[in-house]
Structures are given as structure tokens and as C-alpha cells.
Amino acid sequence: MTRLCLTLCRPTLEENLEDLKNSSPDLAELRIDLLTDLESYPRGSLLSFPEKAGLPLILTCRKTADGGAWSGTDSQREALLLELMEGGYSYIDLEEDEDSKALHRKAREKGILIIRSFHDFLSVPEDLEERLESMSHRGDLVKAALMPRGINDLLILFQAGRTWQERHPGEDRLIILGMGAYGVPSRILAPLMGCFLTFCSPPGAEAAPGHMSWETLHELYRVQELTAETGLYGIIGNPVLHTRSPQIHNPGFRAAGINAVYVPFTVDDLDAFFTLANFLNISGFSVTVPHKEAVRAFLQQEDEAVQVVGACNTVVRMKGSRQGWEGFNTDVIGFIEPLKEKIPTLKEKKAAVIGAGGAARSAVFALLQEGCELSIFNRSENRALQMAEEFCCAGGSLDSFKEKTDSGETYDLIIQTTTVGMGEGKPEEEQENPIPFFAFTGKEVLYDIIYIPRETPLMAKASRAGCTVLGGMPMLLEQGRAQFRLFTGTNL
């Protein structure tokens, strides 16, 4: 079982103890180099900390050259670690190039296990497997923390993990992880590499790039329960870590009693991702920007919505004698079902769609299927006219939309599909409205497909006018339910 290790990175021991009370990790790492005024810190407090913590502790004093905060001399660091090893620490982290015989001897004398580690904050080294092997003869556990620069680097990490397991069957002493956005899946799927542990940070802190909280890894991804039999699903995009989809699918798996996990993959190269998907035997995945159109080149089959809309947001591995991948578009049903709950009969309703991107295509297809009278308006008139011609409806620029509404033309539905207004925590002066000129009468239904924030400036304006307002969260949930059915054959 892969253990969850909480990195204690607060400036005081008291704060670190409080973090331990708020989580239940299997073990913890005390980063003494991050303590305030370490040189003057009472040695008694540091020596007694393991007893107060009440769980196995890794003693770490990371040098600045290795991404830490220790700026003293090597001899001072050695003396400090030798002194603290008299306490009840279970492990000590020593860098790959640490050659202190005194530290090695003291660890053996005290029964402290040595973690030999190296960090590369720039890349994944080509000789990764060789370096892991070299360290394996100089420590009880080996650790590599690396910075993948793309999805292909992430593949190299998983390949190195598998190679290690083949060379060291039955051993439980590898720690390998990727930092940053591309490395997130390695932290969640650490059990697939046979990792001894995966690190997490306290709430509101990030001890290293890509760290997640104990609660996220324990509750959302259930890392300690993952095995070789766990079904793998995910979402690909760039960026993608903001997605709420894991909060839909992982609780769904748990509620349905399905041994599966859903993981975000930041993807810069689709070809490399499909190689990784086959290596990990991923069963299916969601697709978000910018890959909804390009992913079609890797599909062997598509549903009608993908073919008409020209975009795919769900990919499932084909079963049985067929090989390859099948693509679906659940954005269409995800978009229309929440709207139909507000307006059961959409036939002949007059709708203005704002935007002419991939999301707009799904909305236009769905609305036309329901019999709406449709106009597409976009900042770039050419894109709006091109889409309007393709779907046999009206189109124009946002300026033309303003002209029409200023002259008294009305619409039953305003469908906002752009990213304008997206984002959380922006100051009020930076919040945007894609159609600031539009004067709501209170009779319109506004549907803004953005779900972060839950209320955009446009939605707030429509609400003040007395309009029926629908945000993007119901769409996200509905398309997620449709994806879940495609992934599992079970309703969410």
C-alpha cells in the first residue's frame, strides 16, 4: 500500500503539530530547513517532536541547491542532523551526493532508515533508471522528485516505475514523483509505480510544486485504496487542474461501488498522451480545451453529435474484438437538459447565441434539434457567419447584435458560450461582461455556461432585471452524468 506522507512545512513546530491534528497521514516529513530561526530553535523541542507527533517521521534538512532553505555550511548541517538523530525519527532524507560517513553510521546505530534522494526542478533526466539503481545501494529507500516538461516526460516516470518493479520484485522502497502540473497524475497514481509513499501538503500550503492536500488524496482520489485492478479514467486539457470533473466522477465511483479513479492530465501532446493511455491501460477520459477537435484524429468511431458539432469531449476504449477508441459528445445533452427543465418547450423560441467556438457549436446543434429560431453573434463576424452558414441559421458580429437590440428586436433566450466572465476571485473592476450593452427586460432567459464563478457579471445583471438565469454548473453535472454512463454503464 502506498502511504500518504504529510510534509510539515510551517515556520514553527506548534503550527506543524496543528496540521497533524487536522489530517491523518500514515507518516510525515518534518522540513526543519523551513523552520523560522532554525539555528536558535530549542534542540529539546526538535528532539521531542517525534514523540509529540505520534507517527513515523522523516527528518529532512534540504539545502538551497536542492530546492530547500538551508543556507549554512555542510559541516553545520551534518552536526545538526547528527544531534537530532538522537530523537525518535524513523527516517532521514539524504541527497544523492551526500557522502557523510558519520550520518550513515549514526542512522545504522539508531535504526533510522535512509532515504537517498535527488531533485531535478528543470527536467526528467535521461539516466533516471540508472540513477535510481545507483542510489539503491546507498540507502534503504530511493527517491526522485522531477519536473516533467510535458506528457512524454510523465510517461518516462511511469516507465521508470515499472522497470524498477521488474528489477526489484516484492520490494517496497521506491519513491518517484513528478512536480508541477504535468506531474500531478504521478502523485495520485503512485501505487501503480509501487511507490512507498506519495507526499501531500497541509491546507493552504504547497511544500513543493504540484503538492495536493491530504484530504484531496485521501478522500477524493482514495490513493491508499488504488491497486493494479483499479480502473483508470481521467480528463485531458491544458490547463486542466482547475476542473471540477474529479469531484463528479470519483464520488460517483465510490457511491456505485466501482473500483476506479478519475485523474486530471495536463496534455501538451496528444500522440504522447495516447501512448501513455495505452501504457497505463486507461479505460476512458473526458476532453476539454484545447483538444476537443484534435482528439478526433485518434478515434476509430464517433457518435453523431461529434460528427455534426466537430468536437469530442468523451473518449472510451472500445471493448470486445474491436480495438481503439470511440468518441462521444456529451456537451450537447449536458447543455440542453438543464435548459429544458426551465423551458420544457423550446420550439420556435428565439435564441441569440453569444460566441462561435466549440461550446457554441454544441449549443447551436442542441437548440436547432429542439426547433429554436437561432442567431449566432461573435466578436469576430467571420467566425459567426461561417458557423451560421454551416448550421443554416442567422449570424453576425456583436456590433450587429447591439444594433438589432437597440432597434427593438427581442430574444427569448440569451445563450452565453464564451469564456468572458470566467475566473474566481477577480476584483470587481476586472470582471467582464461579453455584452455590456444589452438591456435585459426581465422576460429573457439567460444561460451562461461558465461555472466558475457560479454567478458571472452578466448573470448578476440579468438577475437584477428579473430574468430567469441558468449558470454552467447544471450543464457540467449533466454532461458528467452522461460521461459516467459511457464509462461504466451505470447512472450517476
Catalytic site residue 426?
Answer: no
Domain spanning 250-329, CATH architecture? 3-Layer(aba) Sandwich (3.40)
Q: Which of 143, 292, 349, 461 is catalytic?
A: 292
Residue 121 β-bridge partners: none
Average pLDDT over residues 184-198: 97
> What is the pLDDT, as a whole number, of residue 452?
87
Which three cell numbers, joined as nine digits, stand for 492?
A: 450517476
Per-residue pLDDT at 320 exceeds 70:
no
- Predicted pLDDT of residue 431: 58
Give me the CATH topology for the region 3-228: TIM Barrel (3.20.20)
C-beta separation of 219 from 188 below 8 A: no
Per-residue pLDDT, 424: 60
- Which of 204-218, 266-280, 377-391, 463-477 is least confident? 204-218
CA atoms within 13 Å, Cβ hemisphere of 359: 23
The stretch 106-134 carries a mean pLDDT of: 96
What percent of the chain is modeled with pLDDT above 90? Answer: 90
Burial class of residue 5 (count of CB atoms within 10 Å of its CB; 0-12, 13-18, 19+): buried
Asked if residues 110 and 85 have their Cβ atoms less than 8 Å apart, the reply is yes
Cell of 296: 478526433
Q: Choose the weakest-confidence range: 103-117, 203-217, 299-313.
A: 203-217
pLDDT in tens, 44-81: 999 999 999 999 999 999 999 898 999 899 999 999 99
How many helices (H) and strands (E) would you count in the chain? 17, 20
Q: Which of 72-81, 153-162, 207-216, 347-356 has the lowest mean pLDDT?
A: 207-216
CA separation for the pair 213, 210 (Å, rounded): 10
CB atoms within 10 A of CB 207: 17
Name, in order, each residue with C-beta under 8 angstroms of 214's C-beta and a sequence gap of 6 or more: 4, 6, 23, 24, 25, 200, 201, 202
- Residues with Cβ < 8 Å from 485, sequence gap 6 or more? 491, 492
Please tell me the least confidently modeled range out of 115-119, 298-302, 451-455, 474-478.
451-455
Topology classification of domain 338-475? Rossmann fold (3.40.50)
Domain ranges of the chain: 3-228, 250-329, 338-475
Residue 246 has pLDDT above 50, yes or no: yes
Average pLDDT, the chain: 94
Instruction: For residue 183, give every residue at least 6 positions away whose Cβ sits within 8 Å of its Cβ, in sequence order, or none.
Output: 146, 147, 148, 154, 157, 177, 209, 210
- Domains 250-329 and 338-475 alike in fold: yes
The neighbouring-strand residues paired with 60 are: 31
pLDDT recorded at residue 358? 84
- Are the C-beta atoms of 314 and 328 separated by less than 8 Å? yes
402-450 pLDDT, tens digit each: 999 999 999 999 999 998 998 765 555 445 899 999 999 999 999 999 9
Contact 62, 33 (CB under 8 A): yes
Q: Which of 149-158, 226-235, 382-391, 424-433 has the weakest average pLDDT?
A: 424-433
The grid coordinates listed for 443 are 422576460
Judged by average pLDDT, the poorest of 61-70, 114-123, 205-214, 389-398 is 205-214
∠ CA 317-318-319 to the nearest 5 degrees?
115
Vertex 175: Cα angle to 195 and 71 (nearest 5): 160
